[in-house]
Amino acid sequence: MNRMTEAYCSNCQSSKSFSNFHNHVVIGKKYLPMCKTCCNKRIKEYIQKLGNDGAALWCLLAELGIPFLREVWELTQKIIFNSTNVGRKPDLLLTYLRTIKELGIVVEGFWQSNIMLDDLIDINKKEKQEIKEVIDWYEQINIWGKFLKEDGSIDEEAYNYLNFTFSDYTKDLLEMDANLIRRYRDLAKAELRKRKADESGDIQEIAKAQDNLKKMLDMLNLSDFKKNESDERKQFIDRIAWMIEETEPAEEEDESKYRDIAGYEKIYDSFMRSMRNILTGDRNYPDIPPEGQ
């Protein structure tokens, strides 16, 4: 590991460049002990187990040694749930960390937490129920545009599809700027247009919708259907390179390290012997087994 450019992730136990880690908020520490990818996976696991964002964040912060503070959490909630980025909530951990810095709080350790986990779960459940009861359709229209049914009422199904599609495309993206958010919204609308065209059966509209969708996928580099094939070729090349680099040296005593390729050279031994005989005139032949004499 290059300590000048890399940090170690305690979760996936691998070295990664500094750009793969969030800055730490605890005094004297530069980066979080987990990389961004692992933090993202961990909080998703906690959300699935506990059923709410606050409790999940509390557990992740406990692992990271960062305090869960009521004043920071309340402001984080406002940013998350009142965000204009409808369809994709801002990253929960990153928003919390930024809020700590903006409030100028001096952080020394998890012991500074002023909310218990069981209290947080009860509070969060009530808040989530209140949030789900209100949908700001003006905000939805401001974000996505106006989608109405034939009778002029709000097309809730269309907005649900847009939000779901947007979230599905961006769920693994940790950070997005305003421009990228808008482009993924355009992609979601292209998917909706294609869906409606398919339902209508209008051949011309289907062709136009398909062309529009393809342009959006191309722009976001999401239309490379040969990626899997390329990945497989790359894996094969990497595997060959690994075998060359990891071939057992004469002084190596730990054969378990090379168990995956142990005996690999024996497969080609007979071919190499024959070639040496042809090229050099040797008479190196295999031993005749006793039963063949």
pLDDT tens digits, 84-96: 545 566 788 888 9
Comparing CA positions, the residue from 107, 28, 24 lying closest to residue 71 is 107
Flag whether pLDDT at 162 surpasses 70: yes
Domain boundaries along the sequence of the chain: 1-134, 137-223, 227-292
Flag whether pLDDT at 204 surpasses 80: yes
Question: Model confidence at 82, in pLDDT bands (50, 70, 90)?
Answer: low
Q: Helix 117-133 to helix 70-81 angle, to the nearest 10 degrees?
A: 20
> Which whole-number Å values give the CA distances from 68 to 33, 59, 124, 292, in the listed order?
17, 9, 14, 79
Q: What is the mean pLDDT of the chain?
A: 77
Give the Cα separation of 87 and 126 in Å (integer).
Answer: 22
> Which whole-number Å values give the CA distances from 221 to 8, 192, 216, 218, 224, in the listed order?
30, 19, 9, 5, 7
% of the chain surpassing 70 pLDDT = 71
Flag whether pLDDT at 241 surpasses 60: no
Flag whether pLDDT at 8 surpasses 50: yes
Question: Model confidence at 34, in pLDDT bands (50, 70, 90)?
Answer: very high
- Between 169 and 242, residue with greater pLDDT: 169
Question: Model confidence at 164, in pLDDT bands (50, 70, 90)?
Answer: confident
Greatest CA span in the chain, whole angstroms? 96
**Which pTM was predicted?**
0.47
Give the Cα separation of 114 and 126 in Å (integer).
Answer: 19
Q: Which residues contact 115 (CB under 8 A, 6 or more apart)?
A: 58, 68, 69, 70, 73
- Encode the chain in three state secondary structure: CCCCCEEEECCCCEEEEHHHCCECCECCCCECCCCHHHHHHHHHHHHHHHCCHHHHHHHHHHHHCCCCCHHHHHHHHHHHHCCCCCCCCCCHHHHHHHHHHHHCCCECCHHHCCCCHHHHHHHHHHHHHHHHHCCCHHHHHHHHCCCECCCCCECHHHHHHHHHHHHHHHCCCCCCCHHHHHHHHHHHHHHHHHHHHHHHCCHHHHHHHHHHHHHHHHHCCCCCCCHHHHHHHHHHHHHHHHHHHCCCCCCCCCHHHHCCCCCHHHHHHHHHHHHHHHHHCCCCCCCCCHHHC
Question: Model confidence at 59, in pLDDT bands (50, 70, 90)?
Answer: very high
Q: Tell me the mean pLDDT in the region 257-273.
A: 58
pLDDT of residue 283: 75
pLDDT of residue 186: 92
% of the chain surpassing 90 pLDDT = 16
pLDDT tens digits, 105-131: 898 888 999 888 877 776 555 444 444
Flag whether pLDDT at 68 surpasses 90: yes
Contact 16, 39 (CB under 8 A): no
pLDDT of residue 231: 53
Q: 71-80, 213-222, 280-289 — which is least confidently predicted?
A: 280-289
pLDDT tens digits, 124-156: 554 444 444 446 777 788 888 888 888 888 888
13: left (phi over 0), alpha (psi -120 to 50) or beta: left
Give the Cα separation of 293 and 289 in Å (integer).
Answer: 7
pLDDT tens digits, 175-197: 677 788 888 889 999 999 999 99
